[in-house]
Amino acid sequence: MERIAALIGLALAAAHPAAAQDALPAPAPETEVPADVLAIGAEDLRMTVPVDVGGRGVWPFVIDTGAERTVLSRELAERLALAPGRPVRVTTMTGLVVTPTAVVPALRVSTLAPPAIEAPLFGRVNLGAIGMIGLDALQGHAVVIDFDANTMSLRPSRRRKLVAREGEIVVTAKRRSGQLVVTDARWGGRRVSVVIDTGSPVTIANPALLAAARRAPARLGTLSVIAPDGSVLAADARALDGVEIGSVTLNGVAVAVADAAPFHRFDLADTPALLLGMETLRLFRRVEIDFPGRSIRFTLPRAVARPRGAF
């Protein structure tokens, strides 16, 4: 049986195939970044954008629509000599953990300039990133991921539901604990709740989804899900055909099946649910997530049926 390893971060946050802890890279050169469009890093399936941390350097952060809070690596907090904050409890993929925080005086990314925050700290080797921008900084904005152009843009929300254009679908989401949960999705004739998680390269399914299947989907192997604190959650990798999101049907969707803590956090443990990661999102050409408008627009791929995927 094939064994596949991946790092999945906190509260639906980061995933990154880091094998060893490296020294922090030098900050990016002080170049002018357009206010509306940010270049996407190609380090892995996740998105990274340049973030100015307190005017003391620009660093590549992951934009994570699945994480409730913005987080930093301990290495970056130490390098910038950030003042310690209060310890906090954070939900990771494996459960609640208590972690120290650092006071971040200011962040600037595109049009975002959130006030000072207390960011939870994790080791970079397990976090898989220098830092991650979470929902606490993204509220009030829309995130647009253009896979054709390989760019991500952040803009102030128009605070109204998105309208589908030709070649697009728009789904409306419900809000749970600050997170958007899509309910206009189905698999195997059952309604499925979906959370868009740009911080994870893989899609996570809960056991309730697998239990609802009339026939077990094809097995791809096993997956070790590593949380930011280093704890490990065992997952079963499967391939799903016939995943419906709005009016679109996707085939060969690779998922990791695990009883991850965020499903309990959002009261989704007992109903079929997916944390939709970047591998699945890349089946679309463009994804726009409007948090205040509670809607998500998908630009349809030129061919929505894809071959059976694998991690």
Domains of the chain plus CATH, in order, are 158-299 (2.40.70.10)
Cα 23 to Cα 125, 181, 196, 226, 228: the distances in Å are 10, 37, 31, 20, 18
What is the average per-residue pLDDT within 14-30? 42
For the chain, give the percent of residues with pLDDT over 70.
82
Size (the chain), residues = 311
Rounded CA-CA distance 14/19 in Å is 15
Instruction: Band the pLDDT of 87: cuts 50, 70, 90.
Output: very high
* pLDDT higher than 60, residue 45: yes
Question: Pseudo-torsion of CA 122, 124, 126, 132, nearest 10°?
Answer: 70
Structure confidence at residue 203 (pLDDT)? 92
Structure confidence at residue 178 (pLDDT)? 74
Whose CA is closest to 158, among 142, 136, 182? 142
* pLDDT higher than 50, residue 43: no
Instruction: Band the pLDDT of 180: cuts 50, 70, 90.
Output: confident
Whose CA is closest to 101, among 200, 10, 6? 10
Q: Comparing 162 with 275, which gets the higher pLDDT?
A: 275
Q: Comparing 32 with 279, which gets the higher pLDDT?
A: 279
Cα 107 to Cα 10, 11, 39, 70, 129: the distances in Å are 20, 21, 17, 10, 16
What is the average per-residue pLDDT within 120-124? 93
Structure confidence at residue 187 (pLDDT)? 94
* pLDDT higher than 50, residue 216: yes
195-207: pLDDT as tens digits? 999 888 889 999 9
Structure confidence at residue 24 (pLDDT)? 56
Mean pLDDT (the chain, rounded): 80
Structure confidence at residue 27 (pLDDT)? 54
Tokens of 27: 């900050």
Structure confidence at residue 26 (pLDDT)? 53
